[in-house]
Amino acid sequence: MKPGFIVVAHTFGSDLKWNVHFHVVITAGGVRHDGKRWVHAPKRYLVPAPLLALEWKLNVIEAIAAAHQKEPFYCRRLRSDRRRRFNVRKCLGYIRNSHWHIRLGPSLQQADGAVRYACRYSKRPVIAEGRITNYDKGYVSFLFKDYYKGGRYQCKKLPVLVFIDRVVQHLPPRSFHQVRYYGLFAPAVRAKELPKARQLLQQRKRRRKQPLTWESRRKAAGESQPLACPHCSTTMVYWSLMFGKAISMAIILGIKPDEKIPPHLYIGPKTIPKRSKHVKLIDKY
C-alpha cells in the first residue's frame, strides 16, 4: 500500500524562539501495490502518540549519530572564525532526556483547511510587521501569543540585536525545501499516481478558484460601478494597476506620441469615427 504524505518544517514559535516541529498530513489509506484498489485504513490505524514520539526520537538519535560518524559536525564561534568540533554526545544526551510531544489530529473528509494551515508557514515571514508595537532606545517590543496562559497576547521587549538574531536564525539555508512530499504526492510520481487514486476513490479533480478581479474587489468594498467614467459614466476597460510616481502613458501602452489609437483600444461610442484621433501625450513630470 502506498499512502501520501505532506511534511512542513516549522522552526519558530510565536515568541520567535527556536522551536523545531513538523506538521504532517497523511492519507488514511493508500493505493495497493498492483494499483487496482484503494485500501482504506482501519479506524485505529495510528500508533499511540507516546509510542510514536519515542520511536521518532530514537530514529532521530540514530540519524544524527550516523551522520556525525560519516562526517564530523563543526560549529563556528561568534567572535572568531575558528571551528570547533560539535559535542555530539552532549547533544544526544539532551535529546534522550527531553520529552517529545506528538499530537494526532482527527481524520478529516476534506483536508483543505489542514493543508492550508500547515503550508502557510512556509510562505509567510517569521513575524508580521503589525506585531511590532514599539522601538525605543535600542529595544524592540512585539506581541506574541502565550499558549501557557490560554493563548492570550503578551508583550515582549528585547534588545534590537537579540531581536534581529532571533529573526535571522529562522531563515532556511539556500535550496532547503520546507515543504516536502512523499508517497502519492511525490513530485516524481504524483502526475501518474494521483489521477489513479482519484479514479479509485471516484473523486473529481476540483478546479482552483479564480482570483477576484479588481472590479469585483472594489464592488465587494462597496463601490457600485468602479469602472464608470466620472465625467460621462461610460464603462471603462481595466488596463493595469500602478503605484508610485506617475509615468508617461505612452510607455505603459507602448504607443508612440503621434500614433493613431488602435480600434481594440478605442473606448467611446459604438461607431468609431472615420478620422481616428491621434494620441498626443505630454509628460508633465
- Mean pLDDT on 64-90: 69
Q: Answer yes or no: is pLDDT of 250 > 80.
A: no
Buried b (16+ CB within 10 A) or exposed e, 119-139: eebeeeeebeeeeeeeeeeee
Averaged pLDDT score across all residues of the chain: 77
pLDDT tens digit sequence for 151-199: 788 898 999 988 988 888 888 888 888 889 998 889 998 888 888 888 8
pLDDT of residue 240: 65
Q: What is the 3-state secondary structure (H, E, C) of the chain?
A: CECEEEEEEEEECCCCCEEEEEEEEECCEEECCCCCCEEECCCCCCCCHHHHHHHHHHHHHHHHHHHHHHCCCEEECCCCCCEEECCHHHHHHHHHHCCCCCCCCCCCCCCHHHHHHHHHHHCCCCCCHHHEEEEECCEEEEEEEEHHHCCEEEEEEEEHHHHHHHHHCCCCCCCCCCEEEEECCCCCCHHHHHHHHHHHHCCCCCCCCCCCCHHHHHHHCCCCCCCECCCCCCECCCCCCCCCCCCCHHHHHCCCCCCECCHHHCCCCCCCCCCCCECCCCCCC
pLDDT of residue 139: 92
Q: Which of 54-63, 78-87, 174-183, 208-217 has the lowest mean pLDDT?
A: 78-87
- Mean pLDDT on 254-265: 54
Q: Answer yes or no: is pLDDT of 75 > 80.
A: no
pLDDT tens digit sequence for 124-143: 788 888 888 888 888 999 99
Q: Which of 8-12, 43-47, 266-270 has the lowest mean pLDDT?
A: 266-270
Using pLDDT thresholds of 50, 70 and 90, give the confidence band for residue 78. very low
User: Which of the pair, 283 or 3, is modelled with greater confidence?
Assistant: 3
User: Which of the pair, 28 or 257, is modelled with greater confidence?
Assistant: 28
* Percent of residues, the chain, with pLDDT higher than 90: 4
Give Cα 174 distance to the centre of its chain: 17
Using pLDDT thresholds of 50, 70 and 90, give the confidence band for residue 254. low
pLDDT tens digit sequence for 272-283: 344 344 433 333
Q: Answer yes or no: is pLDDT of 30 > 60.
A: yes
Q: Which of 150-164, 210-224, 239-253 has the lowest mean pLDDT?
A: 239-253
Using pLDDT thresholds of 50, 70 and 90, give the confidence band for residue 242. low
Which residues are CB-neighbours of 184 under 8 A, at least 6 positions away?
2, 3, 4, 27, 30, 31, 190, 193, 194, 197
Please give the grid coordinates belonging to residue 173.
Answer: 539555508
Using pLDDT thresholds of 50, 70 and 90, give the confidence band for residue 107. confident
> Global pTM?
0.63
Q: In angstroms, what CA-CA distances link 114 with 108, 111, 117, 118, 202?
A: 9, 5, 5, 6, 22
